Amino acid sequence: MARNDGDITTPIPRTQRVSVADRVRVRRGVEAAVASAENAPHARVAARVEGQLPAERMQVHTGVQVRPRLGLKRGSVVGGTYRIVDRIARGGTAIVYRAWHITMAREVALKVLTPPGTGREEQFEARFLREARTLAALAHPNIVEVVDFGRLEDGRCYLAMEYLDGPRLTDLFRDPDVSTADRLDVILQVVEGIQHAHARGVVHRDVKLSNAMVVLRNGQRLVKVLDFGLAKLIEDEQELTQHGVTMGSPHFMSPEQARGQDLDARTDIYSLGVLTWVAFTGEFPFAGPTATATMVQHCVEPVPWLSRVPTLVPIPGSLCETVRRCLAKDPDERFPTARALADALQVARTEARQGQHVGITTPLATLLPPPANTAPRAHGPSTLRLALLAWLLVGTACLWWQDQGVVPPPWTVASQERAARPRRN
C-alpha cells in the first residue's frame, strides 16, 4: 500500500479493508490533533507522536474532527476581566455565560464561539467578528449593547454584551393578559431597532421571536434585539456565505432568503410580518412538516389574511392589510423601509387604544391557516334541498285538494270512470 497523505491508493483485500481504513482515519485524526495542539499558544507538545499528546486535550473520532474541551468552569476568570458565574444557553456555534466584569463591577453576557469542528472554523470566526463589529457600531435603546470583544487564552473569540434578565417574545406573546396595544408597542420597538440597523447599512437577516428580549426599565417594557450573527452590511460586497447558501430560521424566512438569493432590508420586513402574525395568532403563517416544506410554502403558498384566522386578542382593522403587505412574495410590494412599516403599526396601535377592533375568536389547534385569496363560501340551502322542499310542498297540496273533493283520488271509481270517458273534439 502506497502512502499518499493518508489516502488508500492501491487495492486492499476485502477482509482487510475495514481495519486498514479505520487505522488510516485514526492516524489522520492524530495528525490533525498534533497540528492543532502545536498551533495553540499554550500547548506543551514535545513531539509528533501519539503517545506524547496529552490525552485530556484531544478527542479522535475515527476521522479528522478534533475538538478540545470547550466549557468554562464557574469562578474561572476570562481574559483577566470576566469571572464566569453560570452558563445561560448553548447553541450550535456559541455558548453564552453570565459573567461578572471585575473592573466595571457589572454583570455581562459573555458569548464564546464554539466552532463545530467541520473544517470551517475560519468562516464561523469571521462571522462572529462581524457580529461584534456590527453591534459595536449600533447604539440604540432597542439593540443589545456591546461591552467588549476579543479572544480567550485558547484562541477562541468572545463577545461581552449587557446582561438582560427578561422573557423572550416567545414567552411574552403567550400571555393572554398582554393586550393588543401592548403587543403592538412591543413589535414597534423591534421595528425601531431594525430601522436603526438599516439606516447604518446593516440587515439582520434572522429576525424572530427568540432574537428579541423584553426587560423592565422604570416600570416600562423595553425590547432588545439580539443576535446579529447573520447580519450583512448592505454596502459590503464581500460575503461570508456563498451565493445560493440558505441560512436563517425557516419559519421566518422571506421567499428570496429561502431561495438563497441576494438579500436587502426588505427581507427583514417580511420576517417582521411573520413575527406580527405569530404575536396575534400564536401560530406560524407557514409551517410544513419539515424545514424544507416550510421554506417551499413561503415561496409558493398564497399570502393569508389575518382577519380570516382565529386570533388571541382583538385586532385593529388596519393591521390586516399591514401584515399582508409585509408578507408579499415580491419584495417590491412590501413596505420599502422599516420606517414606513413603523408608521403603519402606529396607526394600528392608535386604533387598538380607541377600541377599533374587527373582533376576536378562540384560537384553534391548527398548523396552517385556511387558503387565502378565496371568497367566503355561501352558507345557504343547496339546490337539492330546495328541490326536495318544493316536491314536498306540491305533494302536500295535492293531498289537501283530494281531501277537499276538488280532485278525486286516482284510486276511486269516479276517477277511473272520468278517465275512461271519450274526449270531445
> Residue 110's CB: how many other CB atoms inside 10 A?
31
179 plus 317 within the same structural domain: yes
> Residue 239's CB: how many other CB atoms inside 10 A?
11
User: Angle at which helices 266-281 and 180-199 pack, to 10 degrees?
Assistant: 170
Rounded Cα–Cα distance for residues 93 and 90 (Å): 8
Q: Buried b / exposed e across 313-332, counting CB within 10 Å, b at 16+?
A: bbbbebbbebbbbbbbbebe
Q: For position 191, what pLDDT does the model report? A: 97
Q: What CATH code is carried by the domain that includes residue 198? A: 1.10.510.10
Q: Of 145, 162, 179, which residue sits at a domain end?
A: 162
Residue 279 lies in a domain: yes
Residue 369 lies in a domain: no
Q: What CATH code is carried by the domain that includes residue 117? A: 3.30.200.20
Rounded Cα–Cα distance for residues 80 and 224 (Å): 28
Which positions are annotated as active-site residues? 206
179 plus 305 within the same structural domain: yes
224 plus 300 within the same structural domain: yes
Residue 424 lies in a domain: no
52 plus 196 within the same structural domain: no
Residue 70 lies in a domain: no
Q: Supply 202's cell numbers.
A: 446593516
How crowded is the C-beta side of 71, counted as CA atoms within 13 Å? 9
Tally of domains within the chain: 4
Rounded Cα–Cα distance for residues 8 and 21 (Å): 8
260 plus 151 within the same structural domain: no
Q: Of 118, 144, 162, which residue sits at a domain end?
A: 162
Q: Supply 57's cell numbers.
A: 486535550
What DSSP assignment string belongs to 320-352? HHHHHHHT-SSGGGS-SSHHHHHHHHHHHHHHH
Residue 235 lies in a domain: yes
CA-based nearest residue to 62, from 89, 20, 28, 113? 28
3-state SS record for 214-245: EEEECCEEEEEECCCCCCEECCCCCCCCCCCC
Residue 71 lies in a domain: no
Residue 328 lies in a domain: yes
Q: For position 52, what pLDDT does the model report? A: 38
Map residue 202 onto helix, strand or coil.
strand
Q: For position 61, what pLDDT does the model report? A: 35
Consecutive 10-residue runs of the chain (425 residues): their mean pLDDT?
A: 40 45 47 48 37 35 41 84 88 83 90 66 71 78 86 81 89 91 96 93 88 90 83 51 56 91 91 96 92 92 90 92 95 96 95 77 41 44 72 76 64 61 62
DSSP state of 357: B
282 plus 191 within the same structural domain: yes
187 plus 319 within the same structural domain: yes
Contact 415, 409 (CB under 8 A): yes
304 plus 344 within the same structural domain: yes
185 plus 306 within the same structural domain: yes
User: Angle at which helices 180-199 and 338-353 pack, to 10 degrees?
Assistant: 160
CB within 8 Å of 216: residues ≥ 6 apart: 166, 222
Rounded Cα–Cα distance for residues 141 and 213 (Å): 12
Q: For position 49, what pLDDT does the model report? A: 34
Rounded Cα–Cα distance for residues 360 and 234 (Å): 40
Torsion 226-228-230-235 (CA) sign:
positive
Q: Tell me, what amino acid is at 130? A: R
Rounded Cα–Cα distance for residues 208 and 216 (Å): 20
Continuous H helices in 246-337: 255-258, 266-281, 291-300, 317-326
Structural domain boundaries enclosing 397: 386-418
180 plus 143 within the same structural domain: no
Residue 359 lies in a domain: no
CB within 8 Å of 276: residues ≥ 6 apart: 187, 319, 322, 323, 326, 345
44 plus 173 within the same structural domain: no
CA-based nearest residue to 282, from 178, 382, 386? 178
Q: For position 233, what pLDDT does the model report? A: 57
Rounded Cα–Cα distance for residues 121 and 107 (Å): 29
Q: Supply 330's cell numbers.
A: 415580491
261 plus 319 within the same structural domain: yes
